Homo-oligomer: A and B are copies of this chain.
Amino acid sequence: MSKTIFDISVSLDGYVAGPNQSREEGLGEGGEELHQWAFKTAAFHEMHGRSSGEPNRDSEIVAELESTGAEIMGRGKFGGGSGPWGSDPSFGDDWQGWWGEDPPFHKPVFVLTHHEREPLTLGDTTFTFVTAGIESALEQAREGAGGEDVLIGGGAKAIQQYLGAGLIDEFQVHVAPVMLGDGERLFDNLERLPDLELLRVVESPAVTHLKYRVK
C-alpha cells in the first residue's frame, strides 16, 4: 500500500531552519548548511536538470525520493512569511514559488493554505492549493500519486500536523553535524507522540540518515 512519509534534513540540535528566516535566507541563518550533503549529490543535480554531482551513498538516498508520486507542502514552503504567500507584498497571487519555470518536483504538489487559488502549472509540476485541511490534501495527493508514496515535503509545521494526527507511516531524518541554536524545530507541537521503530541507519561522512516506522 502506498505510504505517507516525510524526509527532511535536521541539525543535531533538532532544527530544520535557522533563526531569522527571510526572503534572502529562506532557511534562516545557517539553515543552508543542513542541505550541503544533498546539494553535492548526483541525484540532486539530476532533479535540477544537470548531469553533475557525486554519485555516492548520499545520492542513492536522495534518489529514493523519486519514487514518491505526490508532495504536500505547507504554505510557508511555497511562499514563506506570514501573509497569504508571505508578508512581503511581492508574494501575491502572481507568486510562483521559489523554483522558477521548471520546478524540481516532477509530480503533483498540494499546497496547504487558507487562501483559495487556481492551480498553477510550471513545467511538469502542477501546484494545487488546498483550503480544506490536511486530510483533504492527503486524499487528493494519494489520488494524484497513482499508487506511489505521498511525501510531506515540509516545512516543519506541515510535518508536525501530519505526524501529530497519526497520518505518517514512515519518515527519514538526515542529521547534519551542525548546530543552529535557534530557529524552527522539527519535532515540536505534536498533538500526539508517535510510537517509533528504527528501520534503517545509513551513514556517510557528511550526514546520518535515520529512518523510522510509525507503529
Q: How far is the CB of A157 from chain B (nearest CB, A)?
A: 15
- Bits for A177-194, please: 1 = Cβ < 8 Å to B, else 0: 111110001111010011
Q: Which of chain B's residues has its CB closest to A189's CB?
A: B181
Q: How large is the interface on A (under 10, 10 to 19, 20 to 34, 35 or more residues)?
A: 20 to 34
Q: Mark A78-120, 1 if CB is under 8 A from B, else 0.
A: 0000000000000000000000000000000000000000000
Stoichiometry (number of copies)? 2
Residue A139 at the chain B interface, CB threshold 8 Å: no
Main secondary structure of the interface of A (DSSP, over half): loop
Q: Does A14 contact B (CB under 8 A)?
A: yes
Q: Which of A13, A188, A190, A197 has the most CB of B within 10 A?
A: A13
Interface segment among A41-49, A65-73, A144-152, A203-211: the answer is: A203-211
Cβ contact within 8 Å between B198 and A181: no
Q: Does A196 contact B (CB under 8 A)?
A: yes
- Docked CA distance A210–B181 (Å): 19
A201 within 8 A of B: yes
Chain B residue nearest to A163 in the complex (CB): B179
Sample of 17 A–B contacts (CB below 8 Å):
A12-B212, A13-B186, A13-B187, A13-B188, A14-B14, A14-B187, A177-B197, A177-B198, A178-B196, A179-B187, A179-B190, A179-B193, A179-B194, A181-B190, A198-B203, A201-B201, A208-B208
